[in-house]
Amino acid sequence: MNKNTNLCNDKICFDEEARITDLLNSQKHITGVYNSYLCETETEAVKSCLSGILMEEHRIQEEIFNKMQQNGWYQTEKAEEAKLMEAKMKYSSTASN
């Protein structure tokens, strides 16, 4: 699909960036829901099934994220090394308690 292609109805017009942003937001929601269900299931068979679905949903989310980054629609800042070390120390001490 061409980047300039718009999806329109009578009142609203969505370009590719808006549609892809909506897809990413939907995937974030979907992975959150599957993650909650995975934590709340009791049987190993269901847990295994949901785990597989969750991994696939994360893969889809990553694909969408990568497409957005490639098109300049979702930019992230590189973390400073000092901030990374600070976070690592903070959370490693919390995990050991």
Q: Is residue 63 part of a domain?
A: yes
HEC readout, the chain: CCCCCCEECCCCEECHHHHHHHHHHHHHHHHHHHHHHHHHCCCHHHHHHHHHHHHHHHHHHHHHHHHHHHCCCCCCCCCCHHHHHHHHHHHHHHHCC
Global confidence as pTM: 0.69
Phi and psi at residue 14, in whole multiples of 5°? -110, 125
> What's the number of domains the chain is made of?
1
Give, for all 97 residues of the chain, the pLDDT tens digit.
445 566 676 677 788 999 999 999 999 999 999 999 999 999 999 999 999 999 999 999 999 999 999 999 998 888 889 888 998 888 887 666 5
61 is in which domain, residue-wise?
Answer: 7-95
Evaluate whether residue 26 is within a structural domain.
yes
Residue 1 lies in a domain: no
Residue 73 domain-assigned? yes
